[in-house]
Amino acid sequence: MDTNPTYNTAGKPHKTKSQVPLCVDLDGTLINSDTLYESVFALIKISPLWIFFLPMWLMSGKSHLKAQIAKRVELDATTLPYNQQVIDLLKTEKAGGRKLVLVTATNEKFANAVADHLELFDEVVASDANTNLRGAAKLEALVARFDENGFDYAGNDGSDIKVWKKARRAIVVRPDAKARAWQASHSSRSRLIDGQKPGLKTYLKAIRIHQWLKNTLLFVPLVLDHRMMELANLTYALLGFLAFGLCASSVYLLNDLIDLPLDRKHAKKSSRPLAAGTVPIQHGVMMMVAFLFTAFAISFIMPFWFTVTLALYYTVTLTYSLYLKSMLLIDTMTLAGLYTIRIIAGGAATATNISSWLLAFSVFFFFSLALVKRFVELSDLDESANRATTGRGYRKVDLETLGQSGVASAFASVLVLALYIDSAEVRALYSQPRIIWLLLPLVLYIIVRIWILARRGEMDDDPVVFIMSDWRSQIMVVAGAAVMITAALV
């Protein structure tokens, strides 16, 4: 048996696999996310005003930017979306006695937090206030420590190609296009750890496409004014629907980016694509910006007051995401107002006058549904839940108050509807306004049933979306439409 060692080009003996350290990147490799993006949004959550400091910090270099953010932000390493395939590989290599090194462009504060949590790494090499450990800088640090071909390296994107070229062996994890092409041409000295690419369904879930159903409220003024057959106004209503959908999705994405740590601790929200890491956080940022730009681009070809209403909607929604959603009762009142703004936008898009009765009904009806949403969320929490863990201003003891207030608001909306039926406006629009009284039991059925299901723990969706997707509620809506048509035609 030949026990003589072989030598590399530098004249040094080749090391066995167990003697060669395995160096692992963090962002996109060890975790299915990016700590820089996560820390930026964590900083914005503390105060949106910090966003104005980011360009100034960046002017002093990316390492300085990361260090300044790290001074002000804490990242919970226990909730990050780790790549289980990589974790399993590291555990196997660790059990075999191999040295593991976390080498990352992430700031050292966050890198050390991850290493402390996993308890797998023997050493951490990360960015500090002076050095951004990426690309050439990372290669230089590794070669200085382990020599060329003296380490294996696991990375994921084009910036890692320089490091792979000088590594003994490359491990390519969920690669981008450049990294994938490099791995394909160097398959003999590399290993691919791929992941399932997010499909259209995953991206639609990320933008919460089902929430677009709420924007059908823009058609309400046109329907109640009996003008649905006017092609020009119907076109404006459809464009308004699209603009509000894109704008809403932009804010949903921002909300999810800001709430990543909280969502990951939530039993249901942890499956959201951005929180789970199934959609890259960079894609979430790009969609957020593109959707908002497109929404307002559409609004500029609409009537002026529609653009104003859309701007109001975005401002209120943004304020809700950053501040108001954690404020007791203010959050539910804001949600009710956002539903009502959609109705106002529908009137602005189609130059339709909106009855004060409709606005009053909308405020009470949607306030009740907003309380349902909070009631359901609070029901899913244990007694120890607080503002720090939920991001909400409610406690378990508030359940009964929320329920009573929600039911009371529901009945107030029905009372407003009853008064509206006896108004001069209804008598002007309908030849047989008395038939519209049949709407009352239909609305009562929908709203009371929702509260019964919520108290039973059988309501697990946004109540407005539930109404539009539940077949029993759909029957009530169709019956209500039949009542309105009959009252107008008979």
d(CA 326, CA 244): 24
For residue 388, name the pLDDT band (cuts at 50, 70, 90): low
User: Judging by beta carbons within 10 Å of its beta carbon (0-12, 13-18, 19+), is residue 5 exposed, middle or buried?
Assistant: exposed
Answer whether 423's CB lies under 8 Å from 357's CB: yes
Percent of the chain with pLDDT over 70: 94
Q: What pLDDT sits at residue 56? A: 96
The CA distances from residue 367 to 16, 104, 253, 409, in Å, are: 68, 48, 24, 7
- The whole-number average pLDDT for the span 357-365 is 92
Domain span including residue 123:
17-193
Q: What pLDDT sits at residue 324? A: 87
Q: Is 164 a member of any domain?
A: yes
Q: Is 217 a member of any domain?
A: no
The CA distances from residue 105 to 56, 130, 312, 438, in Å, are: 20, 12, 40, 66
Mean pLDDT lowest for which of 155-159, 197-201, 384-388, 465-469?
384-388
- Coil, strand or helix at 123: strand
Strand runs labelled E in 216-285: none
Q: Is 167 a member of any domain?
A: yes
> Hey, which residues does 23 pair with through a beta bridge?
101, 153
- The label of the residue with tokens 């290993």 reads 191
Closest by Cα among 290, 213, 198 to 253: 290
Number of domains forming the structure of the chain:
1
Q: Is 483 a member of any domain?
A: no
| Angle, helix 231-258 to helix 35-46, in steps of 10 degrees | 100
Q: What pLDDT sits at residue 377? A: 85
- The label of the residue with tokens 């009284």 reads 437
- The whole-number average pLDDT for the span 178-203 is 93
d(CA 360, CA 392): 27
Q: What pLDDT sits at residue 228? A: 80
For residue 387, name the pLDDT band (cuts at 50, 70, 90): low
CATH number of the domain bearing residue 76: 3.40.50.1000
Q: Is 175 a member of any domain?
A: yes
Phi-psi map region of 123: left, alpha, beta (phi>0 left; psi -120 to 50 alpha)? beta
d(CA 363, CA 284): 32
- Number of Cβ within a 10 Å radius of residue 194: 12
- The whole-number average pLDDT for the span 306-335 is 92
For residue 312, give the amino acid letter.
Answer: L
Q: What pLDDT sits at residue 421? A: 86
- The whole-number average pLDDT for the span 99-126 is 97
- The label of the residue with tokens 């694509």 reads 273
Q: Is 108 a member of any domain?
A: yes
At residue 465, does pLDDT exceed 90?
Answer: no
d(CA 135, CA 144): 14
Q: What pLDDT sits at residue 470? A: 86
Q: Which residues contact 350 (CB under 8 A, 6 or more apart)?
A: 221, 222, 227, 230, 233, 236, 237
d(CA 227, CA 224): 8
Q: Is 470 a member of any domain?
A: no
Sign of torsion over alpha carbons 467, 470, 475, 476: negative
Q: What share of the chain is helix, strand, coil (3-state, %, to 5)?
A: 65, 5, 25
Sign of torsion over alpha carbons 307, 311, 316, 318: positive
For residue 14, name the pLDDT band (cuts at 50, 70, 90): low
Q: Is 135 a member of any domain?
A: yes
Mean pLDDT lowest for which of 83-97, 228-242, 320-334, 376-390?
376-390
> Hey, which residues does 22 pair with through a beta bridge?
100, 152
- The whole-number average pLDDT for the span 25-44 is 96
Answer whether 220's CB lies under 8 Å from 361's CB: no
For residue 475, name the pLDDT band (cuts at 50, 70, 90): very high
